Amino acid sequence: MESPSAVDAIGWALRRDLRVAMRSKGELSVELLFYVIVVTLFPLATSPSRDTLATLGPGVLWTAALLAALLSLSRLFASDFRDGTLEQIALSPAPLVGLVSGKIAAHWLTTGLPVAAMAPLLGIQYGLDAPVLATLALSLLLGTPILSLVGAVGAALTLGARGGGSLLALLVLPLYAPVLIFGAGAVDAVRAGLSAAPHLSLLAAGLLLAILAAPFAVSAAVRIALD
């Protein structure tokens, strides 16, 4: 009997993690509610001036998306590691690179995609125009997968470590900074009447690099944690 291919492994892990996520809808709701609350509190705490809100908006929306992604990283591997499921997954004949890729994809679909979908609606309270909101959504669609991929590397590296949550934050936040800069920069560029293409191109390049490299780094880190 042939071993499952990488595509089969991705599909199995994706379906499995989506089913698990749907069983814990409360946890998903907390992460999305955190994003909504953080974004909504800033206009209440600053000047009601449209110009001030429009200036703050891109940075606030992107920073909140980054924090929401960070908040959800602990569920990527930790529970499977604790109950032994991750070890069984690693010992299966399916390629581990494909299995972790499916788990990362499920994380983005349940965290990054909803955030990208909600951002234009939340951006209205900052007085952002339609082209700016469209750029915001596009930048998040390009940037949030990078957050999931890079965050997965950090989550795998900190498996079983004491104070893993704090260590994970210290590890991935510096790596998230370029994504935040280019994502918010794309929105600011459109708001200033400039082209967002350079920022979006850099995000797309970063996404491609993360897709090619992160699953291999994650699978290697998982094997080290299980040894």
- CA-closest candidate to residue 107, choices 54, 140, 144, 137: 144
> What is the 3-class SS of the chain, one letter each residue?
CCCCCHHHHHHHHHHHHHHHHHHCHHHHHHHHHHHHHHHHHHHHHCCCCHHHHHHHHHHHHHHHHHHHHHHHCHHHHHHHHHCCHHHHHHHCCCCHHHHHHHHHHHHHHHHHHHHHHHHHHHHHHHCCCHHHHHHHHHHHHHHHHHHHHHHHHHHHHCCCCCCHHHHHHHHHHHHHHHHHHHHHHHHHHHHCCCCCHHHHHHHHHHHHHHHHHHHHHHHHHHHHHHC
- What confidence tier does 216 reach under pLDDT thresholds 50, 70, 90? very high
Q: What is the pLDDT of residue 105?
A: 95
Per-residue pLDDT reduced to its tens digit, 52-86? 888 888 899 999 999 998 888 877 888 888 888 88
Highest-scoring range by mean pLDDT, 34-43, 87-96, 139-148: 139-148
The chain-wide mean pLDDT, for the chain, equals: 88
Q: Where are the domains of the chain?
A: 6-226
**The two three-digit tokens of residue 99, written as one number:** 């299995």
Length of the chain: 227
Averaged pLDDT for residues 3-18:
85
Averaged pLDDT for residues 100-108:
93
- What confidence tier does 1 reach under pLDDT thresholds 50, 70, 90? very low
Per-residue pLDDT reduced to its tens digit, 154-213? 998 888 776 667 788 888 999 999 999 999 999 999 988 899 999 999 999 999 999 999
Q: How far is CA 173 from the centre of its chain?
A: 12
